[in-house]
Amino acid sequence: MTGPALPVPSEIDTPFALDGATLEGFRRNGHTVVRGLASASEVARFAPPILAQERRLAEKAPPLAERGTYFKAFLQGHNLWTRDEAIKPFVFSARFARVAAELMGVAGVRLYHDQSLTKEPGGGHTPWHQDQTYWPLDTSDTITMWMPLVDVPETVGSMTFANGTHLRGDLGPWVIGDESEAAFSELVERDGFETATHGALKAGDATFHRGWTLHRAPANPTTLMRSVMTIIWYADQTRVSANLAGVRAMDHQFWLNAIPPGEVADGPLNPRLWPR
Ligand SMILES: O=C(O)CCC(=O)C(=O)O
């Protein structure tokens, strides 16, 4: 299928060297941190258009007190690259996509979608969940980059991961909410999973986690907007899953152009971003 035109290569496409400990930690734990992945000048270039999209969402959102657990956790913007050409080189970055491929140990990756995740001042916790519950992709080679565009202090914090949960695959049917928090808290306790966080992050640092890695994030007790941009990729040549039940049906329509199950997931919103 024909995809979107790729932006003219720029600084954001230059390589970034990962060390052996990062690769090994990611394989073992299903998550890692890569500090300084985007430079200060790259954050200065891409944060303004992304934060403009975030403001648009914040203006339309009902007061926090009127929202349930899911909508208290974050404001969500999707595929911002389709809304503003200025954001496209960030989402299509060959550097980020190559890091994603190298961490997973796959030859190439395609874009699933991007997502801004803003935890507002006073925003609630993000309950335990597995991202891949939502994704109709016939692979476990899926990965999310979570990059703050502002410095995130310890008091706000980044995500907490349950080490090694990616190796167990699907841990249950729960989507993000009070039930997932209760069920997965019990599972983490029962099965003795160690939990870990990468703590405070600077703008341009990033965490990466696999689609089946169980994770959550703390509430935001500060007055800071926790502005985060995420990008999700999957291994090139991945096929659409036969399981389109529940929340997966919506993702299938939105992000995979409703490509039939069993066919290669290479829709018009899913350009191959590494290798170029
Ligand atoms: O930003 C958050 O609070 C949660 C993010 C998350 O769950 C994810 O990126 O998969």
As for how many domains the chain has, the answer is 1
Q: Is residue 18 part of a domain?
A: no
With pLDDT > 70 as the criterion, what percentage of the chain qualifies? Answer: 100
The arithmetic mean of pLDDT across residues 203-207, rounded, is 98
Structural domain span for residue 226: 29-265
**CA 85–ligand 1 middle distance (angstroms):** 24
- What CATH number corresponds to the domain at position 80? 2.60.120.620
**Is the pLDDT assigned to residue 183 strictly greater than 80?**
yes
Nearest Cα residue to atom 6 of ligand 1? 216
Q: Is residue 22 part of a domain?
A: no
* CB of 143 sitting under 6 A from ligand 1: no
Q: Which atom of ligand 1 is nearest to the CA of 230?
A: 9
Q: Is residue 200 part of a domain?
A: yes
pLDDT in tens, 6-49: 999 999 999 999 999 999 999 999 999 999 999 999 999 999 99
* CB of 131 sitting under 6 A from ligand 1: yes
* CB of 74 sitting under 6 A from ligand 1: yes
Q: Which atom of ligand 1 is nearest to the CA of 129?
A: 7
* CB of 119 sitting under 6 A from ligand 1: yes
pLDDT in tens, 117-164: 999 999 999 999 999 999 999 999 999 999 999 999 999 999 999 999
CA neighbours within 13 Å on the CB side: how many for 248? 19
The mean pLDDT of the chain is 98
The confidence score (pLDDT) of residue 149 equals 98
Nearest Cα residue to atom 9 of ligand 1? 146
**Is the pLDDT assigned to residue 1 strictly greater than 90?**
no
pLDDT band, residue 268 (cuts 50/70/90): very high
Q: Is residue 162 part of a domain?
A: yes
* CB of 96 sitting under 6 A from ligand 1: no
**CA 2–ligand 1 middle distance (angstroms):** 30
Q: Is residue 21 part of a domain?
A: no
Give the position of tokens 């080490």.
163
**Is the pLDDT assigned to residue 3 strictly greater than 90?**
no
pLDDT band, residue 209 (cuts 50/70/90): very high
Q: Is residue 3 part of a domain?
A: no
CB proximity list for 93: less than 8 A, separation 6 or greater: 12, 13, 273
**CA 125–ligand 1 middle distance (angstroms):** 10
Angle at 164 between CA 159 and CA 168, to 5 degrees: 115
Q: Is residue 164 part of a domain?
A: yes
The confidence score (pLDDT) of residue 2 equals 75
Residue ranges of E strands in the chain: 31-34, 75-78, 109-119, 126-129, 142-148, 160-162, 195-197, 206-210, 215-217, 226-235, 272-274
Q: Is residue 15 part of a domain?
A: no
* CB of 206 sitting under 6 A from ligand 1: no
**CA 84–ligand 1 middle distance (angstroms):** 22
